[in-house]
Structure 1
């Protein structure tokens, strides 16, 4: 374990820029049986998760990239903690980070736009952004160092307001405008609560597509908060801003103020472990799926006829709830529905299609 003196000595180190090597958009294999591609992003197919257990295998975990996965040199990587909100700026190597007391959490990471396509297909509303169905989500066990511990070691000031994590992926250019590196501030209260600077995923070194050498994990909040390829944390005594909190990841639309409403926590969702429009044989079936929510799931219900609801049986709980329910499938076209804790029939509209939380109508054909 690194001593407090050792950590403070690290404050005297200079930040050595990590060497990024040109890489394809996503490094890991992306078989069509497991993923649906959306440009620089890969959506997990729900049928690929059946029988995989509670933790999403890294090989099947969705990928959300604004640009492309960087290949960083762990030996030169440093995490810099600086700003007007700390009294002892730090520059920590990966070895320094691993020497600190560690903790782990099982938590879901989910894109804010997960389910966006259903604003269009179910609600007939026009929205912009990647047309995710429900596969921009995954559950993993993350291990690393509490962000609160790091802030205290850096001498967190009582005046600190925001923490701005900055990623080391390429600068994001859209419409000819360079918005810089992906970054989005967190309020200090959340940073001190349950946020993790993670260097392991599912018991192994953090994979490159998922943030190696280190990333934030912000339980319950939209995925943009869990910055990958973490390079620095600016702690400020005044409010911080970035395009990912002003231009993007805000709720705009008729029901919201002109400046929009900041997107922070996620909403409850549920999904069947079935392909979209799947064909299944007639007879007794066992429907399986998963439900997740920032506050946990107390009751999951399934409807196979559009009128009645039956309570599903939990199989396991953790970052999300796995469940099952028997179904006597009769030949013909069917629409399956599942809801956790009373998910609504319609999701509040916003122009960028964030936080879709309505019950999804899942079509299947029984033969």
Structure 2
């Protein structure tokens, strides 16, 4: 039996149906990441699970018990917010210990648990500080410690790393799974950052249009997206979505003929999705490659991104390891752009219906 079960949950605000007949389940100890664009209803979903908002219909079950009508304080659930939500007049110690104080936990036990949580999150040296004396990273760790100190059976995290700097985000992406798995905590984690979703989740649930469009492992969401829309959400630079038309035994893409070797669906038209890392660029003409001009080359982490333009105006992104000098010496000045050829790795491509965007 699943630990957390959501059964046909729905919530509307006036005429806007934010969550519609949503059903899913989370196993005990699982780290589920809810990923989606701004306004998709991710925070509303967490508030429904926490009991801060009541659903229009549907049920929330925790450990097999229906908690839909329970008040927030009756649920064995803790929640941490992206804006920290710390009491400004209370020290970090008192902020972390506030749930235990509300539950009338004894002072000695309260101190033990606060200090243990603070040590785990490496903020034990700032327990006497007020929030205004803490860095954003320390504030976030304080908020996380407060959510963990009551040892909840379910932890809801609402984009908790959004307001911290890149270094802290990177550190917490490494630390959070270790910390939470050590406690066997079940987690529902909300984020708009696809890299965060890929790094943290045992599974990713992609939320859009009031429902989950795909729930799967990070590897499957990236390598087998259920739709062109999902494929576009995962990747930087984004996936190339190219109109493709059947032409004999191959496809016509960007006014060029591409051999298929049985890799594409048997239909007259479709959309071909090619990740930038699966576009191979060469200055030497190659059979089955698309003639392009190299419009721009820019570094991105350990790779370089190239913006290519085919003869019919189609733009194609390519991504190659730094040090791969397709154009020795860089792009020339002026309006002239180097001529090159882009070969699409058909074996690693994705194909979607033209009208619906669904995977085929």
The structure that has the greater radius of gyration is 2
Q: TM over 0.5, yes or no?
A: no
Higher relative helix content: 2
TM-score normalised according to structure 1 size:
0.26
Higher relative contact order (CA 8 A, sep 6+): 1
